[in-house]
Amino acid sequence: MSSDERELKELMELLNSKAFSNSARLGIMIALHYEKKMSFSELLSFSSLPKSSLSFHLQILEDEGLIKVYKVFTISGIRTEIRITDKGEELIKKYLNYVKNLKEKEK
């Protein structure tokens, strides 16, 4: 198997994983990769998902160990924050590298 074929196979395996098989979860992971942490409200605005759907997707990502959801006490009240984990960072970097390599091969 060539390195190109191996990379494509690894990308497909990643996209078939529970965390990356959904475009909303992939979008959340990309946003968290660049922002490192976001509030629930920020992700709600970014994703345009209903609250219940966002909660569902965050639970899956947290169960997979890719994000950490926690409460922060602020002057204006309790705030839910979401932070990408080291494992999540590693996987999203892999995904972005695969995509970048595929794009470069098109040239």
Q: Is the pLDDT of residue 102 over 80?
A: no
Q: Residue range 8-12: average pLDDT?
A: 81
Which of 104, 48, 39 is closest to 76 using CA atoms? Answer: 39
Angle at 46 between CA 21 and CA 35, to 5 degrees: 85
Q: How do beta strands 37-39 and 77-84 pair?
A: antiparallel
Cα(56)–Cα(17) distance, integer angstroms = 16
> How confident is the model over 12-37, as a mean pLDDT?
90
* Spatial contact of 69 and 62, defined as CB atoms under 8 Å apart: yes
27-45: per-residue pLDDT in tens? Answer: 999 999 999 999 999 999 9
Task: State how far the Cα of 107 lies from the Cα of 102, in Å rounded to an integer.
Answer: 9
Q: What pLDDT is recorded for position 10? A: 81
Query: What is the pLDDT of the chain when averaged over all its residues?
Result: 90
Go through the domains of the chain in sequence order and give each one's CATH number: 3-106 (1.10.10.10)
Q: Does 11 have pLDDT greater than 90?
A: no
How far are the Cα atoms of 2, 20, 53, 84, 106 from residue 62, in angstroms, in the given order?
A: 34, 13, 14, 9, 35
Share of the chain above pLDDT 70, in %: 96
In this predicted model, what pLDDT tens digit does every residue of 79-97 receive, in sequence order? Answer: 999 999 999 999 999 889 8
What's the pLDDT at 55? 96
End-to-end alpha carbon distance in the chain: 22
